[in-house]
Each structure stands twice: as structure tokens, then as C-alpha cells.
Amino acid sequence: MGVIETAIDTIKQMIIDGELRPGQKLPVEKELAEQLGVARNTLREAVRALIAMRVLQTRQGDGTYVTSLSPDLLLDGMSFVADIHLDAGAGEFLHVRRILEAEATALAATRIPDADLAHLGDLLDEAERLPTQTTIDHGKLVALDQDFHSLIASHCGNAVLAAVIQNMSGRTVRARIWRGMSDPEAVQRTLREHRAVHRALLARDADRARLHAALHVLGVEESLSGSRPFAGNRGDGA
């Protein structure tokens, strides 16, 4: 392991051990370099890497701080991992999402406030109006789809689970756009599936919520089975 990687790991360990806490300012460069036993140039490279990982942040004219270290912040890079595997992993990402999102939806069934259940209904009402227009705005449909899933996941009671689901959406957003553009029945099918999830949540029925959420993502998986919808078609707007 090189000196930069060692410095990165040492700073991470300081955070794990509580020597550096979320929101805390790092010691001045000279002091921290001496503490770690590395050259200042090495420390700068380590800090740059940790900034890229969202572990640290620089405040102009003030210094370098530990971030909030919240799961959604640290897992943000997962969406990039999802997006770059355009030709090889759609089914695998959707498979993982089916497992996770089904459980998150079941957990949300007993936690989501009535006001947010009503908001989910409003999102579905708006989505159902779009297909009646002469030209369907698929980008808007996908945005409403994202809002629908994100709101449910946010009430699962597990910040890490919610963050993982949210940050896997880069890949599945592209899948949903392709599905809507290539399958004339996809929009109505998706709306029906969302309504089924919503009804289960309204009933506070965790088992049915889990089942309908899994069936919804499975439908996207099956629509992609045996095809390569992204190859040579990168202008999908996602």
C-alpha cells in the first residue's frame, strides 16, 4: 500500500475512532501531516481523495471539515457505478433493487404518515393525466416515478436502505425511460402497479406492499430480458 493510501486509511480510522467527528474541522495541514508522519504533499493528495469520497469537504477560506457522513452522502457515488454499466448490468441492478425496494416498501407501510400517503396519491393523479396528452412527456413520468419511489423509501425507517435504493436509481431511471418509449403498454402498466402499491400502503398491509413493489420492479426486469436497450442509444434523456 502506498503512502497516500495509508494516509487515507489513517484519517478514516481517526473518524471511526471518534478522534474526528462529523462536522469537525481538521487540524492545520502542518500539524496533521506531522501527526500522520507523512509529507504535506502526501496529505494533500489524501485529503483530495477523501473529498471525492464525500468524507471531507473544503470550505473556502476556512479549512477542511469532516462532512455529515450521512448514508445518502457517502453512497452518492453508487448512482455513477450504476450509470456506467450501460450494457452489462441492467438486470443485475434491477434484481438487487427488487429485493431491497420490496422490503423498504413493506417497512414503510406502518411508518409513512397519512399526509405523505395523500401526496403519493397526488403524484399518481398527476402521472395518470400525462398519458391523455397528445405527446407523452416520458421525462416527467420518470420524475414522478422517482418521487413516488423515493418518498416511500424515505419512510422505511432505515437511512442506509433508503440511501442505497435512491442511489441505484441512475440505472433504473434509464430502464424506465426506455421501457416507456419502446412498449406502448408500459405507461399504463406502471401506473396500475403504482396504484396497487399505494392501495397496500393505504391499508397499512406490509405483506401486500412488499409483494406489489416486487412485482413492479420484476416487470421492468422482464421487459429488459434478452434485450440490449441501451446499446447504441445513449440519447434517452436520462
162 and 87 in a single domain? The answer is yes
Residue 166 included in any domain: yes
Domain of residue 80: give its range. Answer: 74-224
| Res 31: pLDDT | 94
pLDDT computed for residue 210 by the predictor = 97
Question: What confidence score (pLDDT) does residue 181 get?
Answer: 64
Are residues 23 and 90 both part of a single domain? Answer: no
Q: What is the 3-state secondary structure (H, E, C) of 175-225?
A: HHHHHHHHCCCHHHHHHHHHHHHHHHHHCCCHHHHHHHHHHHHHHHHHHHC
Answer with the one of 44, 68, 92 that is the final residue of a domain: 68
The CATH number given to whatever domain includes residue 52 is 1.10.10.10
Same domain, 64 and 78: no
Q: What is the pLDDT of residue 185?
A: 79
Residue appearing with cell numbers 406502471: 190
pLDDT at 236: 34
Predicted pLDDT of residue 209: 98
CATH number for the domain that contains residue 155: 1.20.120.530
- Which of 68, 85, 118 terminates a domain? The answer is 68
Whether 235 is in a domain gets the answer no
Residue 234: inside a domain:
no
- Same domain, yes or no: 109 and 188: yes
Task: Give the pLDDT of residue 186.
Answer: 79
CA gap 164, 198 in Å, rounded: 22
| Mean pLDDT per 10-residue interval, the chain, length 238 residues | 90 93 94 94 94 90 90 71 58 84 97 98 95 85 90 94 81 61 77 96 98 90 57 35
Residue showing cell 405507461: 187
Q: Domain boundary at 45, 68, 91, which?
A: 68
